[in-house]
Amino acid sequence: RSNVSSAFEREIAKLSVMGIGLRSNTGVGERLFRALAEAQINVRMISTSEIRMSVVVDAQQGQKALNCLRQTFDLTE
């Protein structure tokens, strides 16, 4: 199971999907980017590691992106 975190600055929002399952579940990135694309959320930057995938979006789209990822990965607040 993955976790989603967020951090909002003045002009950008960083959202991360985290969990040890990222190493073995190859479809996580595809689900993340497809969901954001379908929600018409523009990703400005991407960062990945073995257990975390982070994206930076415009702050105005931050809450929409967070809600989108929570729904995509079946997470509650």
Residues 6+ apart with CB under 8 A from 46: 53, 54, 55, 56
Other C-beta atoms lying within 10 Å of the C-beta of residue 21: 12
Whole-number pLDDT of residue 46:
97
pLDDT digits (tens, 9 = 90+) for 16-71: 999 888 888 888 999 999 999 999 999 999 999 989 999 999 999 999 999 999 99
Torsions phi, psi of 59, nearest 5?
-55, -35
Domain assignment present for residue 77? The answer is: no
pTM value is 0.82
Integer Cα distance of 55 and 48 in angstroms: 9
Domain assignment present for residue 7? The answer is: yes
Domain assignment present for residue 16? The answer is: yes
Domain assignment present for residue 45? The answer is: yes
Q: Which residue range forms the structural domain that includes residue 18? A: 3-72
Domain assignment present for residue 38? The answer is: yes
User: Which CATH number characterizes residue 25's domain?
Assistant: 3.30.2130.10
How many domains does the chain fold into? 1
Nearest to 32 by CA among 75, 73, 77, 76: 73
